[in-house]
Amino acid sequence: MSIPSTSVDVPVRVRELARGAALTPVWLNGIGGLTFRTDDGRYIKWGPLDDEANMRDEAERMRWARTWISVPEVLEQGQDDAHEWLVTVAIDASSAVDPRWAAEAETAVRAVGVGLRALHDALPVAECPWEWSTHQRIADAAQRGTVVAGDLLQAPPIDRPVVCHGDACMPNTLLDADGRPTAFVDLAALGVADRWADIAVASMSTMWNFGTGWEDTLIEAYGVDPDRERLAYYRRLWNET
């Protein structure tokens, strides 16, 4: 995932959704999906249909989660035969991997850890209609043709069930101007699971965005000691599914 060139080709559907507003590309994901900011306070997310994390699920989960945490308000969501799109209200914040944080890695990493703990503490497990359990993730992967190694079928005992973000990589926490966590995006996989499923991915993602040496900093900011067994298991599960 990366910040695209300002010269990127704007899809026809995005221009239609913009309704005359000026567009600035802000994000390009690994499957060719694009996110644009409009000059009238919206974000337009567009990309190929994705069985693993579709925008219909994302819109549904954001509408549910907004009762307890700050997430973008959904304005429109739709799809055609090949692509899907999501339009939301802009939040006055920037991704934890925005270039402005490049020289302040510790601030960003700690903010993601603090933000993830706040999300886990705020969202009510008993009221969440979705799961992101090991069993569910392995079953979903099998439907997509991915069969995991046999030893991954034996997950560590659950430490604490929470409503997990489902894609707690650093870009998906938004920070305010002072570097404090203020909102969350990309919630298509949100569901109940062991908290270490999120902690493992969030801490692993520090390496992709800021290099080595920050994993335990994020875990410390979350407020727990590193559980090496659970970290190793959930990172493998992430990589193999």
pLDDT digits (tens, 9 = 90+) for 129-157: 999 999 999 999 999 899 899 899 999 99
CATH assignment of 94-240, given 3.30.70.920, 3.90.1200.10, 1.10.10.60, 1.10.3720.10?
3.90.1200.10
Question: 12-89 adopts what CATH topology?
Answer: Phosphorylase Kinase; domain 1 (3.30.200)
Residue 206 has pLDDT above 70, yes or no: yes
Q: What integer is the mean pLDDT of 17-27?
A: 94
Q: Report CA torsion sign: 163, 165, 170, 171.
A: negative
Q: What is the pLDDT of residue 30?
A: 79
Q: Does residue 174 contact residue 183 with C-beta atoms inside 8 Å? A: yes
Q: What is the pLDDT of residue 27?
A: 83
Summary mean pLDDT of the chain: 94
List the chain domain ranges. 12-89, 94-240
pLDDT band at 215 (very low <50, low <70, confident <90, very high): very high
